[in-house]
Amino acid sequence: MALGVWAKTQPPRPILPIPTRSQLAWQKLEYYAFIHFGINTFTDHEWGEGRAPAGDFNPTAFDARQWARVVRAAGMKGIIITAKHHDGFCLWPSATTEYSVKNSKWRDGKGDVLKELSAAAREYGLKFGIYISPWDRNHPLYGTPRYNQIYKQQWHELLTNYGPVFESWLDGANDNKKRMVYDFGGFFSTIKREQPDTIIFSDAGPDIRWVGNERGIAGETNWSTRDNEGSFPGFADEKALNHGDENGTSWIPAECDVSIRPGWFYHAEEDKKIKSVSQLMDIWLGSVGRNCNLLLNIGVDRRGLVNENDIARLMEFKAAREMAFGTNLAKGTITTSNTRGSRFAPANVIDGSYDTYWTTTDGVTNATLTLDLGRETSIDGVMLQEYIALGQRIKRFTVQTWNGSEFQTVATATTIGYKRILKFPRTATTGVRVVFDEAKASPAISTLRLFDTRK
């Protein structure tokens, strides 16, 4: 083989920054559960003040295995538990405080929610994650420098006693009157020392960022890269977080957190206020469909069970996703205006593997993929994925369908990232063309799928 031909078959150079192995594995999870459960569940609060007696915590039918069964049946890949919310009540028997399950009526003070839930997650093949609030409205040392060590010790307990933790979740919540100067650098180093592969979430990363709102919707343009200087946990610039930065120097993709109910903790009065399937589908398109992971919250009820109303809606939502996106119609003969060689042929985008991709020769940033479907097919949706191990590249693209005499535009968008889903008016066509109008470097596209979501 001639040297020039061999060189053309090599992968394009990465566009830095790129995701770590752990960040890429996290991105592939796409959808997992947030569980809000604690003393607030029994006091009917959202933000408790840390004054309710520990004895108030007493779920009468607690069953972590039921949680795990529901989460897996709903199509989720993991579960993150609020091990300690702002009220300071710990769902595990922490040595750092008396305000925990060890002083509750539940299991005669011998229970441990984290122990049972981590075991249930392993049993049902789910990733296990933990949230503990840095704000603690009960602990007497909160507001003093000594509290930082307490908080680190809590992370130490959690990350050394309950197995692998895929995501360690913290925010910048703080008391408006008793302001705490948090040692975030120390928190992050403690977490990474105990579990190097865990992904740390906060408003500013370091591994993944908040999307900037609690509606579960990312920006139509959403870069996984960020210029993170000046950001911190508690950073609330929605525009910056919602869109990322095209030329950002750090890989910090966004996560969308949203609750299935109006509140985060369970309140019986909200049993009839659960988000509709239509609302949840819009959230899916605005989160997973815009280069984010979706963290959907469920408030476990006072029995210690996922409520029947939530279960019904979760299963309806799963059925709707399967109906809309379960059948891939992108089948046929695919051609391109430019390719790097047979190793990176356009057929790679419809072979069902994320790890194979089509790309162009160096310097070619405007190119097309054309799929001949072979027969008239009704479609109203498209899904594209970039091979983000090489960085995020696409800046603008167009989707077109063949109307019998020419290609007509049905959708335009900016970024793709790990996954982009677009809806457009239902059309019957024999061919689809994707035009990559502008990219930072050679496009690297791993997946193209087509759907008829209204069939």
Give the pLDDT confidence of 44-57 residue by residue, as tens digits. Answer: 999 999 999 999 99
CB contact at 8 A, 92 and 38: no
Q: How far is C-alpha 185 from the chain's CA centre?
A: 23
pTM of the model: 0.97
pLDDT beyond 70 at 130: yes
Tens digit of pLDDT for each residue in 183-238? 999 999 999 999 999 999 999 899 999 999 999 999 999 999 999 887 878 877 88
pLDDT beyond 70 at 153: yes
What pLDDT band is residue 150 in, cutting at 50, 70 and 90?
A: very high
Question: Which residues lie across from 294 on neighbouring strands?
Answer: 31, 256
Task: Calculate the average pLDDT of the chain.
Answer: 96
DSSP 3-state percent helix, strand, coil across the chain (nearest 5): 25, 25, 45
Angle 146-161/113-123 helices, nearest 10 degrees? 40
Domains and CATH numbers, the chain: 21-325 (3.20.20.80), 333-451 (2.60.120.260)
| pLDDT score of 229 | 84
Local structure of 89: helix, strand or coil? coil
Mean pLDDT for 176-182 is 89
CB contact at 8 A, 294 and 35: no
Tens digit of pLDDT for each residue in 373-382? 999 999 999 9
| pLDDT score of 228 | 86
| pLDDT score of 236 | 79
Q: How far is C-alpha 405 from the chain's CA centre?
A: 41
CA distances to 135, 136, 147, 176, 263 from 47, rounded to whole Å, are 11, 11, 20, 14, 11
Mean pLDDT for 417-426 is 98
| pLDDT score of 6 | 44
| pLDDT score of 2 | 44
| pLDDT score of 8 | 54
| pLDDT score of 7 | 45
Tens digit of pLDDT for each residue in 312-354? 999 999 999 999 999 999 999 999 999 999 999 999 999 999 9
| pLDDT score of 4 | 47
Tens digit of pLDDT for each residue in 88-115? 999 999 999 999 999 999 999 999 999 9
